[in-house]
Amino acid sequence: MLNCRLPAHWALGVGCWALGVEAMEPLSTISYQPSAARRFPWRIVDVIVAGIFIYAGAIKTLDPVQFASDIDNYKIVPWPVSVVLAFYLPWLEIFCGFALVVRLLYRGALSISTALILTFTFATVAAKVRGLDITCGCFGHASQHWSFPAHLATNLGILAALLALWVSNRSAKPL
Amino acid sequence: MTSSLVRQALILAALALLPGVGEAIYFRHKISWQSAIPPSELVTVAQAHAWGENVIWVDARPDEEFAHDHVPGALSLNEDRWNELLPQFLAVWSPGRKIVVYCSSLSCNASREIAVRLRKEAQLPDVFVLEGGWEAWLKQNR
């Protein structure tokens, strides 16, 4: 395993940089490792959240035109921006999902996933407040007829899981 | 720790760009960057009026709004009761007639959705979206 504190591994400094491991980090700050048994439930949460993001991203990559239309429904950004987001966001969700599963770039994936869910939730509430009757498009046609409470509950559930992962990850060794 | 988090996030964001750009290139002819509705699928109130009796007006708004008021002769066809209302619409439709779908205003989306479904699911040609929707029709006619 890559150990960025060992001079022999400093040649892999780019890898350390990418993974966000501080080469000069004192040993005492990262030596603590929660037991595998304690981590296991959080790994399950990791996989569930990752699966949701990968599924949501994959289904939207199949029909970016429809997703652009779904983004446009929120009336927050102009159409060209909706198109750019429709091509980009699904892949970002997929990459974050895989990063959560393999625990590579993990904190980056957690931060992006949390930011995405917060943005989606904000957009959903804003649309409701403005009286827009929209389909969320979060999971393609599967979510086409979701009610506002169902949509909001799903987002808040994912957000709660992500926040729990943040808390659980504070004591784990960073990758 | 914060800097490593930002680094990781930036790497993920950059990685996602690559397939995103690839997909944009692949779909470049299937999506318009100017408007959600291609200009060829939009029609103004004046143009629709010029088509005269050859037009079937489709009201994509919710039932209550249709019941309150609608374009004379328009048929209601909305997402909520699509399966129920489509057969009634198809009974009126005939080849060669142009279909103009409208919803509340410029900012609504229901007309676009119904127009797409009429083209894709019902396989109907000559389906247009009314620019400005019901509001535009009201301005021109009342």
What are B57's two structure tokens?
Answer: 């007006």
Looking at beta carbons, which residues of chain A come within 8 Å of B109? Answer: 69, 72-73, 134
**Residue among A22, A61, A112 minimizing CB distance to B13:** A112
pLDDT in tens, B98-117: 999 999 876 677 898 899 89
Asked whether the predicted pLDDT for residue A11 surpasses 50, the reply is no
Looking at beta carbons, which residues of chain B come within 8 Å of A107? Answer: 1, 4-5, 8
- Are the C-beta atoms of residues B12 and A99 closer than 8 Å to each other? yes
DSSP A8: G
Looking at beta carbons, which residues of chain B come within 8 Å of A79? Answer: 33-36
| One-character DSSP codes across B61-87 | S-HHHHHH---TT-EE--STTHHHHHH
Burial of A55 (0-12, 13-18, 19+ CB in 10 A): middle
pLDDT in tens, A48-63: 999 999 999 999 999 8
- Are the C-beta atoms of residues B57 and B71 closer than 8 Å to each other? yes
* A-proximal residues of B, 69-88, CB under 8 Å: none
pTM: 0.68
* A-proximal residues of B, 36-75, CB under 8 Å: 36, 62
Angle between helices A106-129 and A148-169 (to 10 degrees): 150
| One-character DSSP codes across A130-166 | TT------TTGGGGTT--HHHHHHHHHHHHHHHHHHH
* B-proximal residues of A, 38-97, CB under 8 Å: 61, 64-65, 68-69, 72-73, 75, 79-80, 82-84, 87-88, 90-92, 94-96
The whole-number pLDDT of residue A10 equals: 42
Q: Are A68 and B36 inside 8 Å of each other by CB?
A: yes
ipTM of this predicted structure: 0.72
Asked whether the predicted pLDDT for residue A32 surpasses 60, the reply is no
- Are the C-beta atoms of residues A112 and B13 closer than 8 Å to each other? yes
Asked whether the predicted pLDDT for residue A156 surpasses 90, the reply is yes
**Residue among B3, B23, B34 minimizing CB distance to A61:** B23
Selected for mutation to probe chain B from A25, A100, A107 (highest B CB count within 10 Å) is A107
Give the gap in angstroms from C-alpha B53 to the nearest C-alpha of chain A. 31
Task: Note the residue count of chain B.
Answer: 142
Is B2 in the A-facing interface, judged by CB distances under 8 Å? no
Q: Are B4 and A111 inside 8 Å of each other by CB?
A: no
Asked whether the predicted pLDDT for residue A7 surpasses 50, the reply is no
Q: Are B5 and A75 inside 8 Å of each other by CB?
A: no
Cβ-Cβ contacts under 8 Å for A15 (sequence gap 6 or more)? A2, A4
The whole-number pLDDT of residue B97 equals: 93
The whole-number pLDDT of residue A106 equals: 93
List the beta bridge partners of residue B99.
B56, B127
pLDDT in tens, B12-41: 999 999 999 999 999 888 887 877 777 778
The CA–CA distances, whole Å, from A91 to A58, A94, B64 equal: 8, 5, 40
Cβ-Cβ contacts under 8 Å for A2 (sequence gap 6 or more)? A9, A12, A15, A16, A19, A21
* Average pLDDT value over all residues in chain A: 78
